[in-house]
A and B are shown apart, each in its own frame.
Chain A
Amino acid sequence: MSEEIGTETAPADPLSLHVPEPAVRPGDTPDFSTVRIARAGEVPRPPVDVPPDDIRDLAFSIIRVLNRDAVAVGPWAGLLSADELRDGLRHMMTLRAFDARMMIAQRQGKTSFYMQNLGEEAIACAFQKALEPGDMNFPTYRQAGLLIAAGYPLVDMMNQIYSNERDPLKGRQLPIMYSSRDHGFFSISGNLATQFIQAVGWGMASAIKGDRKISAGWIGDGSTAESDFHAGLVFASTYKAPVVLNIVNNQWAISTFQGIARGGSGTFAARGLGFGIPSLRVDGNDYLAVYAVARWAIERARRNLGPTLIEHVTYRVGAHSTSDDPSAYRPKTESDAWPLGDPVLRLKNHLIELDEWSEERHTQAEAEIRDEIITAQKEAETHGTLHSGQHPSVRDMFEGVYAEMPPHLRRQRQQAGY
């Protein structure tokens, strides 16, 4: 072979740089024909102690439970009762309504910034239900569903968003950068990918202490390009850390399509294979599938079988944040064309199909949730919003930098007049 190459005489073309482009841009017709989607129920469910090499194909398929007729099918189905499914639906509906309400609050100037979870509600809401008290998530900014499913009070979320006098974080963090140790929700950084390796360290600590708690790392498709992602994978792999490593592939990193971070790799899940980490792809808009895969991975971690990498395949229906306009970089109707559908609608239809839900009950639930959110909002606003009412004090600004305030900060606090 090498001799043949050596005798090649035709001159090679000059080099050219390859810059991936999404299939469509604004003005084009949305096209997801290249997204290969497995049929619901098609992907097998291996035992949790399966050798990673035996399930390499799971990094290239998509585990799905709900089929087109909203029926739960296949080996990953059958884990959740009707009550649990109704809870799940309510969590997702609550998150969606909460987002809608807070988007308006941001436009009304009650806060500076907001990030919604639209279209991705199933992932965090379902995952949280598979965890135990004491486990710890290391979330990014689009996993508010973890808090809602863990029962964190909506009014505390709003107090944080408003940076008001009851803000649990004393006005120190951007809106939605929540933190609640008691609800298994690690402080959101706002710097991307940093929390991925921290999740691994947290899991390692549990193993060092001989405890039973496990952790979950979260990262977006775009941020998998950061070195912290790879540090997380290598540490998780080396020490068989009890951690579930979640990639939420919502197709867009602000305006950059997922192909820029994914490069030549077939899928994001496939990144785990080189580390010998069992790596699965799941339909992120299928509450039942996310829950089933989460349960599988969490059981592996709990049984000291090591880490699992999960790529949740979904679509970011809304803007990245209140600071960008998606119509500038993708077709306006792209989200309608997304082949995995809407997570709330799919679970609703499934419950109706089971005869455990109805359009009437859904409408009634929507009204109840709206009331619950409005009540919480009214209460939160009695404690202030970003530009009116009560706020954490300027004195608070100097607290908590260190366990004890060092002399230089005390001097500066005095200079500030406090």
Chain B
Amino acid sequence: MIEAIRDAMDVCMERDDDVVVFGEDVGFFGGVFRCTAGLQKKYGPSRCFDTPISEAGIVGAAIGMAAYGLRPCVEIQFADYVYPAYDQIVSEAARIRYRSNGQFTASMVVRMPTGGGIFGGQTHSQSPEALFTHVSGLKTVVPSNPFDAKGLLIAAIEDDDPVIFLEPKRLYNGPFDGYHDRPVKPWSQSDLGEVPDGHFTVPLGQAKIVREGTAVTMLSYGTMVHVSLAAAEAAGVDAEIIDLRTLVPLDLDAVRRSVLKTGRCIVVHEATLTSGFGAELTALVQEECFFHLEAPVRRVAGWDTPYPHAQEWDYFPGPDRIGRALQEVLEV
């Protein structure tokens, strides 16, 4: 998936001189996760460069550049470090088009590794997507595989609005089904690891059904798509699993169609439960599908604690927790 993300930026930089890439350790070294490796060498230091450790500076400078007419694609080293840039994202990038009546826009992407499962403790494991989905003017994207990562990132860079692009870091090197004690499978052994060369997009705002089923709808994104698949399989449940891919704008039609068909729904995300994006999904499902529901909508999420280090796998909403939720929803 790292190669797919790098390839997306490479394709965009090749096609459009206005695309610039920068962030902490992003230039010469190519990023702590290697997502920008080789870009500085290929495009020169004025289009791919290292920055001071200042997230507000990175995003603030990117906003100025976007106002100029560039298309910055910046990296925040970990999503956990984005908060110093939050004011620039929320008060500035998200609102510039609106408040200037279109005189200035912020066509830019803020990439950041998200989620846990790598023993990163509380400062390298968070999933802050709900902090962005709550903000009007932003788009929020979470890919779950290399093909989508490349197609969504190209679409995000070409988009005329600011896009928050959350990359589940546990998926960087292979799909992860939540069974942390089993050997890691690389993307090369998965169909989803097949990524076409060159330019293609996965449009923002389109969900994908990754498993068709009739018993229950499972709404998920990022790492938890794979964990949901494993959980449904382990539980022997004929679940319909939807990878939302883009949280805002949301593919509500896909959600509605599926829940109207199955009559049951669970939402799975790694982020903390309270006021998480699952709350929004649950509210929408009851608004749109209430009279077709056979059971209350259930959420499976991270506990409302900071992301712990030693207790990572008790915190992580793994296949067992999802399996229990499936059972509860199906028993009603």
Which residues of A approach B to under 8 Å, CB–CB? 136, 138, 168-170, 172-173, 177, 179-181, 186-187, 189, 191, 194, 196-209, 215, 227-228, 230-232, 234-235, 238, 400-403, 406-408
Contacts and interface: CB of A to CB of B under 8 A. Distances in A.
A186 B91 contact: no
Interface stretch (B62-70, B165-173, B295-303): B62-70
A232 B92 contact: no
A332 to B, nearest CB: 35
B98 A172 contact: yes
Contacts of A179: 99-101, 103-104
Interface stretch (B119-127, B218-226, B247-255, B262-270): B247-255
A169 B95 CA distance: 12
B103 A180 contact: yes
Nearest to B50: A238
Interface stretch (B3-11, B51-59, B175-183, B235-243): B51-59
A228 B47 contact: no
Contact of B252 (A199, A206, A407): A407
Interface of B: 17, 20, 46-47, 51-52, 54, 56-57, 60-65, 67-70, 84, 87-88, 91-92, 96-105, 136-137, 139, 159-161, 205, 248-250, 252
A7 B75 CA distance: 53
A138 B60 CA distance: 12
Nearest to A227: B56
A402 B138 CA distance: 8
B61 A200 contact: yes
B136 A401 contact: yes
Contact of B67 (A169, A198, A234): A198
B97 A199 contact: no
Contacts of B52: 231, 234-235, 238
Contact of B249 (A194, A201, A205, A406): A406
A406 B103 CA distance: 20
Contacts of B84: 227
A191 B67 CA distance: 17
15 contacts: A136-B67, A136-B68, A169-B100, A169-B101, A172-B98, A191-B91, A194-B87, A198-B61, A203-B64, A208-B20, A227-B56, A231-B57, A235-B54, A400-B97, A402-B137
A187 B60 CA distance: 14
Contacts of B64: 138, 197-205, 215
Contacts of B70: 205, 208-209
Contacts of B161: 402-403
B64 to A, nearest CB: 3
A321 B96 CA distance: 23
Nearest to A191: B91
Contact of A177 (B63, B99, B105, B249): B99
Contact of A168 (B101, B136, B248): B101
A189 B91 contact: yes
A215 to B, nearest CB: 7
Contacts of A208: 20, 46-47, 65, 70
Contacts of A407: 205, 249, 252
Given A187-B104, A408-B250, A202 B87 contact: no
B104 A403 contact: no
B252 A408 contact: yes
| A180, A215, A406: most-surrounded residue (chain B CB, <10 A) | A406
B60 A202 contact: no
What 6 A-B pairs come out closest when comparing CB atoms?
A: A201-B64, A197-B60, A201-B61, A231-B57, A205-B68, A406-B249
| A180, A196, A231, A400: most-surrounded residue (chain B CB, <10 A) | A231
Contacts of A172: 98-99, 101
B296 to A, nearest CB: 24
A238 B56 CA distance: 15
A136 B136 CA distance: 27
B298 to A, nearest CB: 23
B57 A235 contact: yes
B320 to A, nearest CB: 34
Nearest to B160: A403
A402 B47 CA distance: 27
A408 B196 CA distance: 32
B99 A403 contact: no
Contact of A198 (B60, B139, B205): B60
Contact of A197 (B20, B56, B98, B102): B56
B314 to A, nearest CB: 36
Contacts of B88: 194, 197, 228
Contacts of B98: 172, 400-401
A199 B92 CA distance: 13
A228 B97 CA distance: 21
Given A172-B101, A189-B91, A234 B57 contact: yes
A401 B92 CA distance: 12
Contacts of A138: 64
Given A208-B46, A403-B105, A202 B68 contact: yes
A227 B52 CA distance: 13
A20 B84 CA distance: 28
A238 B161 CA distance: 28
A408 B205 CA distance: 11
Contacts of B104: 179, 181, 186-187
A400 B205 CA distance: 18
Given A199-B64, A238-B51, 12 more contacts: A177-B99, A187-B99, A187-B100, A189-B92, A194-B60, A194-B88, A208-B20, A208-B70, A228-B60, A232-B57, A400-B97, A403-B105
Contact of A401 (B65, B100, B137): B137
Contacts of B61: 197-198, 200-201, 204, 231, 235
Nearest to A198: B64
A316 B100 CA distance: 27
Contacts of B97: 400-403
| A205, A206, A209: most-surrounded residue (chain B CB, <10 A) | A205
